[in-house]
Amino acid sequence: MKKLALFTATVVCLISFYGMNAYGQVITRYLGPSGGTINGAGTLARMNTACQTTYGTAAAHMCDVDVFFATATVPGQNRTLWIQPAVHNCVWNGTETMCEEAGATAQVSESNAHQTCNSTPGPWTSASGFSGTTVSFTTGADAVNGWVLNTSADCSVANQVACCQSQNP
């Protein structure tokens, strides 16, 4: 029995140390806000760089809403953060791919999904005319761990970036 307890404790310690769950999968978690602010034309690369600079690791990157809401427990102190929306349940309808976006109640086409201040050539490239996705800290009843999702944030506003990190073994 002592050997089993020692083995179990060792496995739990290794899982905790390497940032894996019990199945050996890599865990991504919310680190905190970026040090600086960027408007919606920040490009995804700049937003990731803001996270990498703030946390001193190349593994830091802009969070998506699923990881953020699953792991953000730190109060935001009246912060608003840019965040990468997540899509689920994507299906081909014979004409185009339709996805359900986090924060939305219906499926939308790929061209209308991803509220990322999107203009040509890609996401997080427009400071006006488009909407972006943010999370804001609040004490309201609709908050999850104090955070509320907004999929129609003004792209001209400069916000910090929600930073996450994937922990690899």
pLDDT digits (tens, 9 = 90+) for 91-139: 888 887 777 766 566 676 655 555 888 876 778 888 988 889 999 887 6
- Find out whether 165 and 29 touch, Cβ atoms under 8 Å: yes
Does 58 score more than 90 pLDDT? yes
Q: What is the pLDDT of residue 140?
A: 62
Q: For the domain 27-167, what is the CATH code?
A: 3.10.100
Which of these, 120, 136, 135, 129, lies nearest to 155 by C-alpha position? 129
- Find out whether 147 and 75 touch, Cβ atoms under 8 Å: no
Tell me phi and psi for residue 155, to 5 degrees: -70, -15
Q: How far apart are CA 26 and CA 158, in angstroms?
A: 31
User: How far is CA 111 from each of CA 27, 64, 74, 132, 150, rounded to the nearest angstrom?
Assistant: 30, 19, 34, 14, 19
Pairing, β 87-92 against β 97-101: antiparallel
Query: Residue 128 has which token pair?
Result: 């006006």
pLDDT tens across 142-166, in order?
555 678 888 889 999 999 999 999 8
Query: What pTM was estimated for this model as a whole?
Result: 0.72
